[in-house]
Copies of this chain bind each other. A is one copy, B any other.
Amino acid sequence: MSGAERALTAEDLAARLNGSLRHCPPNRPISEVRPLEEAHPGSLSFLANPKYAAKAQASEAGLILVDSKTDLGERAVLVVENPYWAFAQSIAWLHPEPMPDWAETPIHPTAKIHGRVSLGPGVTIGARSEIGAGSVLHPGVHIGDDCVLGEGCELFPGVALYRRTRLGKGVRIHANTSLGSDGYGYVLVNGRHEKVPQVGWVEVGDEVEIGACVTIDRGVLGATRIGAGTKIDNQVQIGHNCQIGEHCLLVAQSGISGSTKLGDFVTLAGKAGVVGHIEIGARSIVGGASVVAKSLPEGSFVTGYPARPHKEWIETQAALNRLPRLMKKLKG
């Protein structure tokens, strides 16, 4: 997705974004947008919050978008009014989404079918996608461009894989589930929610099973990842850039907001919710219809809204049940 042919100079970016370069040679080539911690010298990155200044200092990014209140000393920065909006625009310029490459035939001539694969009627496979041997694609499965499916996958009717989705071996996905839809990212500019382009992808490990009507968003820039052996029930929602560990159980109608990490063997019971940008330690259990708003250490067992240690939740519920009587008594 990067490459000198698509690079802009720091000066070009400054002009387009109406910003001011500091400590940066104007002709420095910038070919991609990346988060601070994954940035290279050819990367543009951005500092959303001054409290992460240390992270910015440690980053290899060739240029960092900041607002005028942020001081990063000698680091090469591009000072703009709204760094997040500048970040969104830069993604659009440096990572433009190609138009889908549809052929006359439902299976694109450049798709590669390995070994014996069973294809139902109405299956479409995009350009350059590869289907592993022994896979079964039921009627109406739609595989986008540049996808890779491992051996022995089974996709049921109506499954949609957006471009660049990668499935390991033996992955089963049930009807009308989609992987790779755009994450929910907008920035408010002049009273409108402007889109933060979502140009990443979804990666699914071996032996993962995913239920029906599940939605997994692709990463903003990199991957949303589902670890090997994880089992996802129907109607689960997973936001952009989530990193789900191995052998997790995500029960029906649970949901995880963007950029959250789950360790291995985490269980979310039915209808549980987890906010974005937190970490749930390995082997934790979140009770049904509970909402986790803070990171949890390994082996946690939490329940309620907001989720608290299960024992505490039991105690508060018991106390709550006795409360009306207590109040009457105190009045009397």
Residues on A facing B (Cβ under 8 Å): 99-100, 102, 105-106, 118-122, 124, 136, 138-140, 142, 144, 156-158, 160, 162, 172, 174-178, 181-182, 184, 186, 191-193, 195, 207, 209, 211-215, 217, 229, 231, 233-235, 237, 239, 247, 249, 251-253, 255, 257, 270-271, 273, 275, 288-289, 291, 293, 304-306, 308, 312, 315-324, 326-327, 330
Contacts and interface: CB of A to CB of B under 8 A. Distances in A.
Main secondary structure of the interface of A (DSSP, over half): loop
Contacts of A181: 156, 174-175, 211-212, 234
B138 A140 contact: no
A257 B293 CA distance: 25
Q: How many copies of this chain are found per oligomer? A: 3
B288 A273 contact: yes
Contact of A178 (B176, B217, B255): B176
A116 to B, nearest CB: 11
Contacts of A271: 255, 271, 273, 291
Contact of A121 (B124, B172, B312, B318): B124
A175 B195 contact: no
A176 B213 contact: yes
A271 B293 CA distance: 13
B209 A195 contact: yes
